[in-house]
Structure 1
Amino acid sequence: MPALSEAEEAALSNQLLQELAPRPPFACSSLTRLSGGSTNFVYRGTLATPRPSGVKTVIVKHFKGSLSINRDFPVDISRCIIELVMLSALPGFSLTTTALVRTPFLYYHNSEANTQIHTDFSDTTDLRAVLLSNPTLDNSISPSFPPPLTLGRKIGSWLRGFHNWASSPPEYELRAEIGQYESMRKLKHLVNYGTLIGILQKFPDVLDGSGDLKALEEVKAMADRELERQPALRERLPPRRDDHLWGIIHGDFCMLNVLVSNDSKRAHHEAGDVDKLFVIDWELAQYNHRAYDLGHMIGDLYEQKHFNDADSAMLCVRGFVEGYGGLSDELAFRTAIHVGTQLIGGYNRRPKRGNATAPEEMIVDMLRVAKDFVVKGWEKDREWFEGSPLAPLFTNK
């Protein structure tokens, strides 16, 4: 059975209203289902009584053991605990940074019912919609949102700060706690590397002989080995050579999970800067290689260029890499590989019917480019990348 019926949706909404009713600070007069997600049931709740701070709405997030769009597709409920742990820990990171980028505040959680209440960043627009509102290469101040280069730099700088904080010695216990939840990490591995070869074998013309297949098999084997890696013990010496590239990652670092304050749009003529950004949806946080976050965002951006001709997305890629800064060749090549696997895995997520369906020729072209990212990344062909869309990975040191 796929998604819930209208009657079942109404029953779930009423169930949540009843769950919150005995808790006056969070009792809601109504719930409005939000679109965009496929995993959870997410609502904007209108508080029956606004909070003293003036807050009138909240996000109500309900977790089940399956996708919200397909109850026959199981998803481990541990993601509810992961988000709880991360949202409880993130204020410690926020204290070390400016207020420019914020994460949701966890107002309430019910571990038995798998329900959480978060900050509602309602006056915002997701990054994908921002870039598609101005898909050209124009990076000058305009009546729309801040320039894509500026947005990219702010996002990249924040991600570097988050990765460094989450990998720092004081956060050892957080790494150990998140590291024990492996289901989301296994899911991430499956959709990016478990399906890699099977998807490309559906399009034999994309593969350039046995050399490509051999490289892809070696990449898959590398990712399988990475899946076995665990957070380093506090007392273990000496550290592993690449420990600095590992730690807690967001795990779903894509355009839809970065929101841009609409204040930026209103104030843009005066400041030309980003007022606030918000990073949401932390349930896939996991112990993993930093390239997973970097490659996911870059792949998401490149997909907008390929399918929607959004040149602004490529400016955002440049700014993102500049903002993150200091990519070693090792991290750059590993990120390029993950960009490719992210794009190839996207084949299974793309709509197969309806207005959003892309022409097959365009899809095959995407798979061919993505395959090159993976193979050339594995071969460490720096010269090839310097003339590719991923050149910023190798020219911003």
Structure 2
Amino acid sequence: MAPTDTTASSSSPNSASSEHDLVVVDVSGLLMQTEDKDHSVVGFSDPMGLLVIVYHCVKKTYIPTVELPSHQVLEVPAVVIRLSLTRNRLSEKAFPDLPSLICAKEILTMLGKDPVSVASDYLRELLAVVKSTQTRRLGETYVRSAKFRIVLTVPAVWSDKAKDATLRAAEDGLGDHQFVMISEPEAATLHTLRAIQPNTIMNGDTFVVCDAGGGTVDLITYQVRSVEPLNLYEVVQGDGGICGAAMLDKRFEAFIKHRLGAQWSQLSEKSKHMTLSCWENNIKCNFSGTGDNEDDLTEFLIVIPGVSDNVEKGIEGGMMLVESEDIATIFDPIIQDIESLVHTQLNNAKLAGYNVKYSTIHHLYELSSIMASQDKMAMEILESIKETPYACSSLDRLSGGGANFTYRGTLLSPLPSGEPTVVIKHTEPYVATIPSLAVDAIRSQYESAALTAIHTYTPASESGVTVKTPYMYLFNESTHNQIIQDFPSSVELKSYMQAHTLSESESRRLGIALGSWTKRFHVWGDKSEQEQLKRDIQQSKMTSELRFFVNYRWLEETVDLFPDVLGRCRDMFKEVAERMNKELEDTDNPDLKLIHGDFWSGNILLADKPLASLLHNIDLFVIDWELTQVAHPACDLGQMFAELFLLKHFRNIDAALYFLSSFMRGYGSIDDEFAYRVAIQFGVHLIVWPCRVTGWGEKEEIQKVVEIGRDFIEHAWRKNKAWFKGGALHDVFYADKP
């Protein structure tokens, strides 16, 4: 194939001539559904294009006598009918007996339609929805006179016959509107080069683009002939294969069949559907590796209603526990296929005499369909806030706030104060990073109420360090969406301490300020003005029970993970758990106060730059109030101190212990009973969390810190105050008043 030119001014989705008022390009991962008395349309769009069709039915015309259950429609993956347009051996080999392919064929036969005509129907309805949406925003007069320029994208591996079928569908479905067709890697390239700003792309640069989508993975190699206007020259023929997210689904079903054996065939269709939905919505989109990174999940629960318990296979109570290594066996062959395609492009470019500078992987680990459920969630959030002052053009998923789905939203119009972004937290009735752990979504109300109330509390300033909380702009109780102040150039204290070298004086300065603020917050939360908030949260018991479960129930379970180290403490740990549980049930206990509930170095933000450059204006922000609860303040202190200790123990960061010591000087002296509670929480955290959060160290290193946690609990439980003198918690027991 001869090299070809791609000039953005002529074929780019990002350009529009003067005679075209609107440009319709990308509906990334959007699930569109419109219903009225005459029409029902359901369709998925491809990550970089419009032409992926599931089903279109004008009820009175196409199915006059046949009742078609809606769940059958939704079970047909977008890739199936799109592959029906190709009709090549590759697709037949990849999906020879896929149940949804059979379902799709049955639907088409039932309707008496072929894939091209269904594609036409879908494009026609999709355009109608776009026009309807634009009419609401821009007005009927403007849209009626507007001309749409539509860009259709197709996989690089599609044959000329498949492309011709796409064009025929577009000509019929889009009417007189102008449209162009480009390859998906080309669209990905144009989008990427414009989205990554600033970039270092220069004339003469050669790069490979890999567009890994739901069905196909497409690659192409370009050389930049001109940066402005952007002109790309195809130097290696486009290539690709069917190794997208749909193949992951196929491998998961094979995995689950093998693990369950004959039981799988005995399950009801509804149970199977729920299992596959659990994979689609909870596991596939949350898997990020086998523990090499700190945020990687190491275990997953698969919901399998009706399955019999089998301890050896990790099945209990209708759920099966699988390790991340098991999930990796599903992903690895697909990722290897993609890597092979990338290496082939690189080798072909080298043989052609081109030195590849970049290898841009577009959606490689997202694979579009992997993120379909979250993309749908993001689109729903965008829709729910479009009529508010906080309407956003896009949302980017953030890694913090594990209990919720957290996004940074780019505002259509900056706030009056000039901020261009906000943080949007969406709450579901489960923990976002542990979907199997159900938690009432009402917790979003408590976070909103806490942030709104605490905003009346004057920020604490100490030695030029001011501790603040985010401002709550808007809370929608029906959608459980919070719109909160953003701090885009900040970083968590935990990450900051690992990336920047803090002097002892700097560490103590920060520690005193946060300690002083924390004491003032605990006192403020115990005042009569917050009594109603305390009662509401305490009556729910949701957040306190969750905290008890992931600390003290897990403490007892961890004994079995380290029997040689913790075996002798089994009875003591049970007594500790019983005491803490009894304390939570005593609503009249004066020691219980309003606390943050998830107070650690990962929920403290500061500017990501050396403190010396900030002069005397240093701000700390206390974020993520989703676990606000009524409990003993020692819970806040013990968790914070344990995380600081881990930074010293595993990373040898002295600043962490300076910070800890000075925190107590800012907080002020506490009585011995309070100190013992802090030490118990400190020890529990050291035992429970490092062995469940990857990235701290090897098993032998984790066992060592478990031993340390055991010793702290033992001596605190026995009230051996002298043991703590000179240790990590010395200032908890012996600090003087500030």
Equivalence for 2:611 = 265
What is the CA deviation profile of residues 326-345 of structure 1, one whole-angstrom value per residue up to 9, with x for unaligned ones?
21111111100110111212
What is the CA deviation profile of residues 317-358 of structure 1, one whole-angstrom value per residue up to 9, with x for unaligned ones?
11111111121111111100110111212045312xxxx262
Which structure 2 residues correspond to residues 211-290 of structure 1 after superposition, within 5 A? 212-230=569-587, 232=588, 243=590, 245-262=591-608, 265=611, 267-268=613-614, 270-271=615-616, 275-290=618-633
1:391 aligns with 2:734: no
- Residues 97 and 164 of structure 1, relative CA distance in 2, 3 Å threshold: farther
Paired letter, 2:728:
P
Are the equivalent residues in 2 in contact too, given 1:135–1:309 (CA < 8 A)?
Answer: no
Identity %: 34
When Rg is computed on C-alpha atoms for both structures, the one with the higher figure is 2
- TM-fit CA distance, 1:57: 0.7
- For 1:68 and 1:215, the matched residues in 2 are separated by 33
Equivalence for 2:717 = 378
1:164 aligns with 2:523: yes
Equivalence for 1:144 = none
**Counterpart secondary structure, 2:400:** coil
Task: Give the stretch that moved more between structures: 371-380 or 163-172.
Answer: 163-172
- For 1:51 and 1:180, the matched residues in 2 are separated by 37
**Counterpart secondary structure, 1:108:** strand
Stretches of 4+ moved more than 4 A in 1?
A: 95-99
- For 1:82 and 1:66, the matched residues in 2 are separated by 15
Query: Which runs of no fewer than 5 residues in structure 1 stay unpaired?
Result: 141-146, 233-239
Equivalence for 2:670 = 327
**Counterpart secondary structure, 2:559:** helix
2:545 aligned to which of 186, 203, 209: 186
Task: Give the stretch that moved more between structures: 221-230 or 200-209.
Answer: 200-209
**Counterpart secondary structure, 1:71:** strand
Task: Give the stretch that moved more between structures: 108-117 or 175-184.
Answer: 175-184
- For 1:85 and 1:160, the matched residues in 2 are separated by 20
What is the CA deviation profile of residues 224-277 of structure 1, one whole-angstrom value per residue up to 9, with x for unaligned ones?
2112121x4xxxxxxx6xx2x321000000111111134773634x44xx6111
1:113 aligns with 2:470: no
- Residues 357 and 305 of structure 1, relative CA distance in 2, 3 Å threshold: closer
- TM-fit CA distance, 1:197: 2.3
What is the CA deviation profile of residues 49-86 of structure 1, one whole-angstrom value per residue up to 9, with x for unaligned ones?
11221121100111111222343332221211111111
- Residues 357 and 306 of structure 1, relative CA distance in 2, 3 Å threshold: closer
Equivalence for 2:404 = 40
Are the equivalent residues in 2 in contact too, given 1:127–1:260 (CA < 8 A)?
Answer: yes
Are the equivalent residues in 2 in contact too, given 1:135–1:311 (CA < 8 A)?
Answer: no
What is the CA deviation profile of residues 264-323 of structure 1, one whole-angstrom value per residue up to 9, with x for unaligned ones?
73634x44xx61111111110111001000101001111112222222111111111111
Greater share of helix residues, 1 or 2?
Answer: 1
2:498 aligned to which of 132, 142, 149: 132
| Root mean square deviation of aligned Cα | 2.1
Which structure 2 residues correspond to residues 82-161 of structure 1 after superposition, within 5 A? 82-94=446-458, 100-134=466-500, 138-140=503-505, 147-161=506-520
**Counterpart secondary structure, 1:363:** helix
Equivalence for 2:657 = 314
Equivalence for 1:235 = none
- Residues 338 and 33 of structure 1, relative CA distance in 2, 3 Å threshold: same
1:296 aligns with 2:639: yes
Are the equivalent residues in 1 in contact too, given 2:691–2:702 (CA < 8 A)?
Answer: no
- For 1:324 and 1:338, the matched residues in 2 are separated by 17
Greater share of strand residues, 1 or 2?
Answer: 2
Paired letter, 2:683:
G
- For 2:460 and 2:527, the matched residues in 1 are separated by 12
Whose RCO is larger (CA < 8 A, sep 6+)?
1
- For 2:650 and 2:659, the matched residues in 1 are separated by 16
- For 1:35 and 1:227, the matched residues in 2 are separated by 31
2:564 aligned to which of 186, 205, 219: 205
- TM-fit CA distance, 1:159: 0.4
- Residues 264 and 169 of structure 1, relative CA distance in 2, 3 Å threshold: farther
Are the equivalent residues in 2 in contact too, given 1:178–1:286 (CA < 8 A)?
Answer: yes
- For 1:35 and 1:95, the matched residues in 2 are separated by 26
Are the equivalent residues in 2 in contact too, given 1:29–1:46 (CA < 8 A)?
Answer: yes
Task: Give the stretch that moved more between structures: 368-377 or 5-14.
Answer: 5-14
**Counterpart secondary structure, 2:372:** helix
1:53 aligned to which of 407, 414, 417: 417
What is the CA deviation profile of residues 126-156 of structure 1, one whole-angstrom value per residue up to 9, with x for unaligned ones?
11012112467x425xxxxxx1111111111
* Aligned residues between the structures: 369
Q: Give the TM-score normalised by the residue count of structure 2.
A: 0.48
Equivalence for 1:79 = 443
Equivalence for 1:30 = 394
